[in-house]
Amino acid sequence: MKDVKAYIEANRERFLEELFELIRIPSISAESEHKPDMLRCAEKWKEFLLKAGCDKAEVMPTEGNPVVYGEKIIDPAKPTVCVYGHYDVMPVAPLELWRTSPFEPVVKDGKIWARGADDDKGQSFMQAKAFEFMVKTGQLPCNVKFMLEGEEEIGSPSLYGFCEQHKELLKSDVILVCDTSMIAPDVPSITSGLRGLCYWEVEVTGANHDLHSGIYGGAVANPINILCKMIASLHDENGHITIPGFYDDVLVISDEERALMAQAPFNEEAYKKELDIKAVHGEKGYTTKERTGIRPCLDVCGIWGGHTGEGSKTVLPSKAYAKISTRLVANQNFHKISDLFQHHFESIAPDCVRVKVTPCHGGAAYVSPLEMKAYQAAEKAMETTYGKRPIPTRSGGSIPIVAGFENILGTKSILMGFGLGSDDIHAPNENYPLEQFFKGIETIPYFYEYFAR
Amino acid sequence: MKDVKAYIEANRERFLEELFELIRIPSISAESEHKPDMLRCAEKWKEFLLKAGCDKAEVMPTEGNPVVYGEKIIDPAKPTVCVYGHYDVMPVAPLELWRTSPFEPVVKDGKIWARGADDDKGQSFMQAKAFEFMVKTGQLPCNVKFMLEGEEEIGSPSLYGFCEQHKELLKSDVILVCDTSMIAPDVPSITSGLRGLCYWEVEVTGANHDLHSGIYGGAVANPINILCKMIASLHDENGHITIPGFYDDVLVISDEERALMAQAPFNEEAYKKELDIKAVHGEKGYTTKERTGIRPCLDVCGIWGGHTGEGSKTVLPSKAYAKISTRLVANQNFHKISDLFQHHFESIAPDCVRVKVTPCHGGAAYVSPLEMKAYQAAEKAMETTYGKRPIPTRSGGSIPIVAGFENILGTKSILMGFGLGSDDIHAPNENYPLEQFFKGIETIPYFYEYFAR
């Protein structure tokens, strides 16, 4: 890949300006008032794909937000890379914790600060710019298909059906995904596994309306107290999840593989210091990396009920709510887990309250074998630009659609991400180091080169 | 009390119009943006006290919201009744559950619907109109002092100091309070005991910022999960509160007194049906009425943390919060309970989180002996207008300042309230039956008559 560094250097400012145009569109898929922004963002992507060198590009409707599809077919006999990314972003609340406006990107301290700077506008835009470089310098060795969705952050509800409908159009030899992290700027890594996900909203109802906490307190069930008790009971004293059958399908990882994983550099003291915590907390018998890499977990992502405003209102509320999610590992079926949770949560409700469980989204875990040609191409690409062999890691995060691609399209994915743990994706002050952004653009063309050989 | 019914009949519409003027001022003491409304409401009360027949009335400053003081001294040798009430009201959230606008009173189905219709604008205004009747018809048998505060719903923080400063001004033989309920429209009762109160806000902090629930989930403490566990541990399986020392000072009620209390009419099936609950819930070994009357309790009045908006955001939040209150019974010292809770809650926090406990307001429980002359005057007054002897009851609610009056001014209070359990004070759709409002105005003058004898 001749002159890739020089091309990046010459186009540096334009790349950033273009990315910022995407970031400025607040394409929050979880909030319905942003529907028009989803369409604007998709149209903007179509424009960029055509400019970058696609022969054709279109905004294709789905049941939800559209998919942006683009392609450049140089020779049907050559291998085809399908680029996957998403143009939707996470909500931004609590807004008061942002140091800069989430949708007005700022470059400071060598980083881009904005919602979507990394996840996934920054990372998917690297793919577009790497493609542009190969096209403009006549070095593109593969056919390329772009598939950019607008619902990743809400579980890709429409993309499964879209893939079913367009199997032929989306046919490729590998799907390249830049939506994960590497260990450190000088420790390249490739995500060889992802956790799955299952998410529910629960509602606990006591009396049919809010009551005076003096007149009724002590005699009528308080749905907040009950909800707390139910949530507390979901873990035992060793941090194991108590839902019957929850661990049944979890694969036991061999001691040998655990020993191998333990070689990845990890400084628990630095980890604790960065998060400002005195102690880590999780399932007994596993290390921190194992707890996020090879073990499932259960977290309350949100809880609310009663008086949450200023002052000390004495109320015995009628309702309490929580959003609860589990992360799943390979071989756990998220449909089965969804049913197990719902059944268990309803079964532990005392008869003084009513409980409603609403399943939200879910997705399976994914594992990418290290023997695969595409994995080895990614390994060599990173070795070329970083000067060292990347470490295979298992991420605690989830990209449920990646397991979907395998099931529906029969295509494996490669998760070559350039994010860092400090990028605060899904949190206030999301950021993405310029160094990672440009290094990603530099590395991706080598993946194409080695994959085409 | 000659012609009291006729006077009420002749002035019925005016009484309501005047009350509505007070209700329309949104005097929510817990919300700082309503500060100007507190002053407007106090000035309006001063105007009404002068119109009703006070010789003088003034809005007196305190460290917080002002106290409205008014008096009519007919003869220093005669007994003096001090009228206590409050012009502040509870917050109105959740607004969407109100069927009518909370500060635009509506009369429908024989009831006034509005925030403050009962608690305490409606009930304290009965006292003003009963006083007006006695003055205008030349039948006032006692000296009268009005003391109306604007901070009852936030625990009367300034009234304690105000009483200390104005002991001489507030000197009286009894304090008459209309801020409680009776059993039913045809079952008059007098509140002979009130529970005390202690209220805290707690904050649990995990990592120093919100984290991605996939990347960190399972390895870093989730403050919502931890808070739920801590709250769940505050009750044991029998519904007893587990804070060490919490019950130490609770007086054991004799079996004889419990048997007497059990005679008050109470239909548990109707109670459950009204609240739409399948089962009551509380401390083992006590009846529903005992659980609210003679036993302390602990309730979470509000909880919040993480993502509480639309959609399924996968976040491992940095912080979780709860507002927790206990209701106390006679002999429990709220300062001691406040310290016990704070110490206990901090001590049960695991070292993976930080916990902050902020004591909010508190107040002691109160008991009014049935042998007291003032109690007997109230009993006879209700017997006169209702045709049956009122039952002494112990309310589960709290008016902390009532214990304060006893400590600071050395004056006992009489809690002759005309509210009903269905008035939904502190909740959406607060209401007050017209029948209770006018019956209160009719009954109060007889209290003066019997107390002056």
User: Do A28 and A89 contact (CB within 8 A), yes or no?
Assistant: yes
Same domain, B345 and B372: no
Same domain, B93 and B228: no
> Which pLDDT value is given to residue A370?
83
Same domain, A222 and A89: no
**Residues A177-206 pLDDT 10s:** 999 999 899 999 999 888 999 999 999 999
Backbone angles phi, psi at A244, to 5 degrees: -60, 130
Residue A216 lies in domain: 196-250+296-362
> Which pLDDT value is given to residue A156?
92
> Which pLDDT value is given to residue A339?
97
Asked whether residue A388 is assigned to any structural domain, the reply reads: yes
Chain B interface disruption, residue of A152, A215, A236, A431, most B CBs within 10 A:
A215
Residue from the list B216, B307, B397 with its beta carbon closest to the beta carbon of A212? B397
Average confidence (pLDDT) over B235-254 = 94
Asked whether residue B291 is assigned to any structural domain, the reply reads: no
Same domain, A426 and A406: yes
Asked whether residue A289 is assigned to any structural domain, the reply reads: no
> Which pLDDT value is given to residue B421?
87
Q: Which residues of chain A have pLDDT under 50?
A: none
> Which pLDDT value is given to residue B75?
97
Residues of B with Cβ-Cβ distance to A425 under 8 angstroms: 212
Residues of B with Cβ-Cβ distance to A396 under 8 angstroms: 214-219
* Tally of domains in chain A: 2
- Domain CATH for B310: 3.30.70.360
Please determine, for residue B70, whether its predicted confidence score (pLDDT) is greater than 80: yes
CB proximity list for B124: less than 8 A, separation 6 or greater: B83, B85, B86, B87, B148, B178, B179
Asked whether residue A282 is assigned to any structural domain, the reply reads: no
- Domain CATH for B9: 3.40.630.10
| DSSP-derived pairing of the beta strands B391-394 and B354-363 | unpaired
Rounded CA-CA distance A273/A229 in Å is 31
Asked whether residue B260 is assigned to any structural domain, the reply reads: no
Among candidate residues B362, B385, B409, the one where a domain is terminated: B362
Asked whether residue B216 is assigned to any structural domain, the reply reads: yes
Same domain, B238 and B134: no
Weakest-pLDDT range from B79-93, B160-174, B181-195? B181-195
Q: Is the dihedral angle over the CA atoms B227, B228, B231, B234 positive or is it negative?
A: negative
CA distance A446 to chain B (A): 28
Same domain, B238 and B101: no
Among candidate residues A320, A339, A362, the one where a domain is terminated: A362
> Which pLDDT value is given to residue B3?
95
> Which pLDDT value is given to residue A260?
73
* ipTM value greater than 0.90: no
Q: What is the mean pLDDT of chain B?
A: 95
Q: Is the dihedral angle over the CA atoms A261, A266, A269, A275 positive or is it negative?
A: negative
Asked whether residue A278 is assigned to any structural domain, the reply reads: no
As a whole-number percent, the residues of chain B with pLDDT over 90 amount to 86
Same domain, A99 and A163: yes
Same domain, B29 and B133: yes
User: Do B99 and B115 contact (CB within 8 A), yes or no?
Assistant: no
Please determine, for residue B307, whether its predicted confidence score (pLDDT) is greater than 80: yes
Same domain, B224 and B98: no
User: Is B297 within 8 Å of A231 when comparing Cβ atoms?
Assistant: no
Q: How confident is the model at residue B397 (pLDDT cuts 50, 70, 90)?
A: confident
Same domain, A95 and A8: yes
Same domain, B222 and B166: no
Asked whether residue B284 is assigned to any structural domain, the reply reads: no
Average confidence (pLDDT) over B160-183 = 96
Residue from the list B217, B421, B425 with its beta carbon closest to the beta carbon of A327? B217
Kindly write down the DSSP assignment for every residue of B379-440, as one continuous string.
Answer: HHHHHHHHSSPPEEEE-SS--HHHHHHHHHT---EEE---B-GGG-TTSTT-EEEHHHHHHH
Among candidate residues A362, A392, A419, the one where a domain is terminated: A362
**Residues B398-422 pLDDT 10s:** 787 998 999 899 999 999 999 998 9
**Residues B321-344 pLDDT 10s:** 999 999 999 889 999 999 999 999
Same domain, A80 and A105: yes
User: Is A315 within 8 Å of B427 when comparing Cβ atoms?
Assistant: yes
